[in-house]
Structure 1
Amino acid sequence: MLALISLLTLVPSTLSAPIFGLSSGSDDAAATGATTSIALADVQSSLLRPAQFARVAYCSSKSITDWTCGEPCTSLGNVTFLQSGGDQGLIPLYYIAHDPSDNSLAVAHEGTDSKNILSILNDVKFGLVDLNVTRFPDTAGKGIQVHSGFQQTFERTADGLLAGVMKGLASTGAKKVTVTGHSLGAALATMTGALIKKSVDPSVEVTVTGFGLPRGGNQAWADFLDSDVGVQYMTNQNDPVPIVPPRSLGFHHSSGEVHIVDDTQQDFVDCPGQDNENCSTGNSLLKVDVTNHKGPYFNDISFGRSACPDGQ
């Protein structure tokens, strides 16, 4: 994702027309509801734990399995690793852990590794395709379409991941599942969260939290996430990733955005509605800061291999 964005941002800012429709998004309808400030304490209470789990997903498979991934692991305290999958390439890593602090399971997806071409290829296949209704039979006939590359990547680990979640719920007695990820990992988290929610007993609470979330599907997909899943996601200043793929190609964000206004790590706003132009949707790819994608977001949390021991 970062490599593709970097190429786009090299185009001179003097161009008068949007690149491939990648404008600030004023070409079609978007929410314009007024934002409201959110206190740092409230951000920490709802987003800190998911952010910490998402950060761990960038570390090496072995360091996650052994729970020896340095500060990303130790910051979470007494957590028990349960399962992982993927190869940190064409199949991004995911892991499942038990969090005894609230007797919950955490499911975290690795985001894009900008140094790994196989990982990047998952992002650039950005055509819209029909959602696999075999996995989501209740969505049949609703016209839901999703990002081709994201769905293909999701399918590579969906069965093993779901089996691991069901096994973890049975062995721990947990009644809550937190699904999280950053960048590509955030997009995968929305699909994984939807799959888990439809598969577990209704008494199990499933929450989905993303960071630097790109658009993952069409309006019908966004509506489905709002009505059946519930997604909260954080965007950081002029990060270009949340505004791709563009709405001019039929992509749309769900509700639930929390936007970071500046680099103080103290100024956050709630963004009502879908694709609120007062938040990341109002950004333009002609004026972006790719470094905002990695962070820091808050509490000095940044995403990527650099936070892991020896950058692995």
Structure 2
Amino acid sequence: MYTFTLIPLLSLLPATLSAPIFGLPPSTSDDSATGKPTPVSLDTVNSTLVRPALFSRVAYCESATITSWTCGKPCEALSHITFLQSGGDEGAIPLYYIAHDADDQSLVVAHAGTDPVKFLSLLNDAEFELVALNSSRFPEAAGTDIKVHDGFQQTFERTADGLLAGVMKGLASTGVKKVVVTGHSLGAALATMTGAMIKDAVDPSVNVAVTGYGLPRGGNEAWANFLDSKLGLTFVTNQHDPIPIVPPKALGFQHSSGEIHSVDGTQSNFVACPGQDNENCSTGNSLIDFNIVNHLGPYFQDISFGTPECSTGLFG
């Protein structure tokens, strides 16, 4: 199922990632979760997973078209949206934006995924050493063994202060009591850190929900436990996508709980995967027989990420 030549992202991945990451088999450690997945209804998918995915899709469009909410099909799929703020340079500092969703009465923070046209973004993914979580930003991490992906943390820190200031300003101006943080791929990894940061900063009455798509592993078991206790993260994996199983468990990385797995290409067969890194879901996928196109989608309702549907986007 290898398919590396369809778009620029796929042709770049082998050169940047194959040697250090794809050369290792998935872990089969005894402590992996092996609970039986349970079916997730389409009603649940449509009511909880679709809308964050639509916001994540918008993040792949050009910044100027997000600011004016004229990014083509991705923007047209969402109504009653007020753009509030954006940041990043769509390269080494991936784009994020903040918007007010009047229909959901929420503030939305969406991180862009890896830009396949600009090589600097791919380097962020390649820096996969585990390093201590920044305890100056997350005081509860002081004295613990919480470690995260070095490249993800560096990228997160480049926009964290401005993003948090924008969220606090948006909460004050709109009066909403809900923040939705979302993203695809690298954007999903950044969303986990952003969600944890916002959760620490806002009043406990504010609900912070994090939903990611095609999420790579972002830290060690202590990080996974931290996310479980703080956020109750939800992330969606798609069929034989290899990105959710990198960096490998053999290097000390582990997913949190909260995986929803799309089993096949029908866009209607989803299961909830109990525990962390459940071998019956994406963790059981092979790094020898995989389909990178599954990383882009479609996930459900024909929603794919990084597509040319934007009026101007990462693919031109």
Q: RMSD over aligned Cα, in angstroms?
A: 1.7
- 2:255 maps to which residue? 253
Gaps of 5+ in 1: 12-17
- Corresponding residue pairs, total: 305
**Secondary structure, aligned partner of 1:146:** strand
Are residues 1:84 and 2:86 paired? yes
Shift of 1:307: 2.1
Aligned identity (percent) is 65
Q: Compared with structure 1, are the counterparts of its residues 10 and 254 closer, same or farther at alpha carbon in structure 2 (3 Å cutoff)? A: closer
Q: Matches of 1:310 and 1:204 in 2, distance apart?
A: 34
Q: Is the 8 A contact 2:109 2:182 kept in 1?
A: yes
Paired AA for residue 151 in structure 2: G
Paired AA for residue 264 in structure 1: T
What stretches of structure 1 move > 3 A for 4+ residues in a row?
Answer: 1-11
- 2:4 maps to which residue? none
Q: Matches of 2:10 and 2:108 in 1, distance apart?
A: 26
Gaps of 5+ in 2: 1-8
- 2:232 maps to which residue? 230
Q: Matches of 1:300 and 1:284 in 2, distance apart?
A: 25
Q: Matches of 1:132 and 1:3 in 2, distance apart?
A: 34
Question: Structure 1 length as normaliser, TM-score?
Answer: 0.94
Deviations 1:149-204 (A, max 9, x none): 00000000000000000000000001000000000000000000000000000000
Residues 280-291 of structure 1: pairs in structure 2 closer than 5 A: 280-291=282-293
- 1:264 maps to which residue? 266
Q: Indicate which of 149, 152, 176 corresponds to 2:151.
A: 149
Are residues 1:300 and 2:312 paired? no
Deviations 1:4-50 (A, max 9, x none): 64459989xxxxxx9543x2321453100001111111111111110
Q: Is the 8 A contact 1:9 1:288 kept in 2?
A: no
**Secondary structure, aligned partner of 2:144:** coil
Shift of 1:230: 1.4
Question: Structure 2 length as normaliser, TM-score?
Answer: 0.93
**Secondary structure, aligned partner of 2:49:** helix
Shift of 1:228: 1.1
Q: Matches of 1:301 and 1:167 in 2, distance apart?
A: 31
Paired AA for residue 235 in structure 1: T
Paired AA for residue 74 in structure 2: P
Q: Matches of 1:310 and 1:97 in 2, distance apart?
A: 19
**Secondary structure, aligned partner of 1:101:** coil
Q: Compared with structure 1, are the counterparts of its residues 199 and 2 closer, same or farther at alpha carbon in structure 2 (3 Å cutoff)? A: farther
- 2:136 maps to which residue? 134
Residues 1-312 of structure 1: pairs in structure 2 closer than 5 A: 5-7=13-15, 20-21=23-24, 23-27=25-29, 29-311=31-313, 312=316
Paired AA for residue 179 in structure 1: V
